[in-house]
Structures are given as structure tokens and as C-alpha cells.
Amino acid sequence: MHLLRRQQQKMIICPFCQAEQVENTIYCGECGHYLLGEDDKRRTEHYDRDDIHSTVEPQAHSKLPFLVDLSNPVVIQLKIVSNQREVQLVLNKKILLGRIDPALSVFPDMDLTHDGTPAKSVSRRHATIARQDDKIVIEDLGSVNGTFVNGHRLDPYVPHLIHDGDMLQLGKLPVEFTIRKP
């Protein structure tokens, strides 16, 4: 049945790496090249590097890390500054932050699709928040417009320690990060 379904699907060839992809795939699974036309509306809104800057002043000093007791559940709270929406999530796995895209089967744990104009700068798979040993880290997933912690832009794919009270920024979308004890 799966083979029959694949045969019925139209396939396209990535113009960059020549890998075969299912028609209407947005990004090549091999090289990441954008496959849809320029007029497609599903893209992440791209800003020039000069337009993307943190709205948060860099902190002069770092906070002491909040040590996570791995034997107990930890709840994080993410507050979208622009509309004051608050979401609490149990940190028992990697939490994906981004925008939903059913066509690509992208269903982030925290969907930021409807959080106003700044949310258009958030990538589908923008960043993750996870436990790492006894700390909590955020990792930018190679997002188009970047991830910031307290005004500092993160390097993609490098976990960065975050603390209770830190200000995150996903593209142009500011988010307050708080750790809650259940």
C-alpha cells in the first residue's frame, strides 16, 4: 500500500542537489534548498540582518543557573510579550518552538503562528528547549531570523544555557522565560 501511494505521488527533482522529493515539498530533505516558487505564501518572512536585532538590552552580568532536580517534573512558562499569552509546558522532553505547517507535518509543541505580526519572523522549526544534565538549554535550529537570549544572538545548533527570568527572542518575537515548580 505504501509503495502504491508513493507511485501515485508526483515527484520533483531538487535543482540544487538533484535529490528526488515529493511534489509541493517546501525544502529539500537532502540539502535544505527552497523548492517552491517565490510567490508561495508559506515562507518564513525574511528580514535583512540589520532589521533583526534584539529588542532586549544585553545583560551586564549573568544569573546563577537554576539547577533542575531531574527526579521531579519541571514546568516552564513562556509568555509572548506582544499579546501577553502565557503557555506552561512540562519539560519532560525537547520542546519544539515554531509555527505549524500541516503540509510539512510540522506541529510544534508551542505554536507561535497566531501571535501577531512578529510571529511571521519565526521559522516552522525555530528552536528547542530541553533539559541538559541539571540545566535548561535552548538551541536555535538554523532558523532564518535567529534566536536571541537576553539580547545575544545564538549560534545555530549550539545549546545555550537559559535561566529563570531570561528574555528570549525568536526572530522578532520577544518571549519571557520562567521556570515554575509544579
pLDDT tens digits, one per residue of 134-156: 889 999 999 989 999 999 999 99
CATH of domain 75-180: 2.60.200.20
Instruction: Name which of 94, 73, 92 is nearest 181 in CA terms.
Output: 73
Residue 10 has pLDDT above 70, yes or no: yes
Q: At a CB cut-off of 8 Å and minimum separation 6, what does 36 contact?
A: 24, 26, 42, 43
pLDDT, position 171: 93
- Say what the pLDDT of residue 38 is: 59
For residue 6, pLDDT beyond 50? no
Statement: residue 81 has pLDDT above 50: yes
User: Domain limits of the chain?
Assistant: 1-43, 75-180
Mean pLDDT of 115-119: 90
Q: What percent of the chain has pLDDT above 90?
A: 45
